[in-house]
Structure 1
Amino acid sequence: MGSIAGKTLRLYTVLPVLNREALEDFVVPGYPNYVIKKGMAVVIPAGPMHRDEKLYPEPNRFNPDNFEPEKVKNRESVEWLPFGDGPRNCIGKRFGEMQARIGLAMLIQQFKFSVCDKTTIPIKYDKKTFIVASEGGIYLKVERV
């Protein structure tokens, strides 16, 4: 998730725990005497994991650098779970993405967007912010089709 909202969800996880049910017996790696039996309820502490200093240095600080591609690649996907993971992940995530796509499709269907003279071309990126943004903004001319 590349958005600021997604990165913010590490600190402010909507569902701090995820509830699952074991589909089969699972021996906990490194602990052969501990077995999660098929059908057993499992609680995954997503919120505490998101604030674990072993996973995120300075865990109580908002730091978008935690989501640089190299750091994400070196981290297990289950160490960031604001939407859950796998086939039972949050349906709201997909709904939000779909809603944004439909909104964009409706706008493109009814309007023509073009860059107006106030936008600097080529774009100069603002180096004072941690998100991708232009120095002077991007201004669009919107015309009904």
Structure 2
Amino acid sequence: EIEAHLSAKGVIDFEKINELPFLDACVQETLRLFPLFVARKLCTEPIELPNKKGENFVVERGTTVIVPHCCFMLDEEYFPNPQAFKPERFMQPDAAKMYREQGVFNGFGDGPRICIGMRFALVQIKAAIVEVLTKFNIRINPKTRKDILYDPRTFLTTLKGGIWLDFEERQ
């Protein structure tokens, strides 16, 4: 997809970068697998939450609830085989919006506090990917884990042991 849209200078025009559905799907799926944020919500009225492993839990009014985005972005009910990298989840038009409206995809937050730099960030991410992929052949190094086991010691969602890649400059 990227090579098909490269200009004679070896770049993709700014206007075209958002017209690459597979590139967009790959970025969205990566954001789903490696969520950056948590949702902090203030409880405005008491609510009883079900607990599958015991008594229900009551959240009292005035309590701040912190919910890691991975709780729903890795939920098998919404994303079958949730730890697999499957960009096709985002190939239908407005898939990210559909998942956001279901409340299960918050790559940049949601609602009135959605990241104001979301569109700029997505273009920057895509431009960086295009730049790297047109200059290098990339292979996953055997040191990279095959499973999705996150490192609990890091602030940002990261694979335990890191992600190791081998780069070979294209000729």
Q: TM-score, normalised by structure 2?
A: 0.43
Larger RCO, structure (CA 8 Å, separation 6 or more): 2
Q: Tell me the TM-score normalised to structure 1 length.
A: 0.49
Larger Rg: 1
